[in-house]
């Protein structure tokens, strides 16, 4: 949704999923943005150890060690 003042766009309101999609597109266009998002994820604790992820994938897809 675009909010206008005197017919001029002043503010955009969008749902979180659309905003995340926009961030993802920006990260693909600019490697620095991808790095910034990754560092932000680390600082907010939104990461998992690689071993944990690989163990989960092995279990989900029945992949032997």
pLDDT in tens, 26-58: 888 888 888 998 999 999 999 999 999 999 999
Which residues span the domain enclosing 14?
Answer: 2-61
46, 50, 52, 54: CA torsion to nearest 10? 130
DSSP 8-state code for residue 10: E
Beta bridge partners of residue 9, listed in sequence order: 4
Distance separating alpha carbons of residues 29 and 23, to the nearest angstrom: 10
* Number of domains within the chain: 1
Judged against a pLDDT cut of 90, whether residue 61 lies above it is answered with: yes
Q: pTM for the full model?
A: 0.49
Judged against a pLDDT cut of 90, whether residue 64 lies above it is answered with: yes
pLDDT in the model for residue 10: 92
pLDDT in the model for residue 45: 96
Distance separating alpha carbons of residues 17 and 36, to the nearest angstrom: 19
């Amino acid at each position: 949704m675009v909010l206008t003042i005197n017919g001029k766009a002043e503010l955009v309101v969008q749902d979180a999923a659309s905003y995340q999609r926009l961030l993802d597109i920006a990260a693909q266009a600019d490697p620095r943005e991808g790095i910034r998002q990754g560092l932000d994820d680390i600082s907010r604790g939104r990461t998992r150890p690689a071993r944990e992820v690989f163990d989960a994938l092995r279990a989900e897809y029945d992949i032997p060690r």
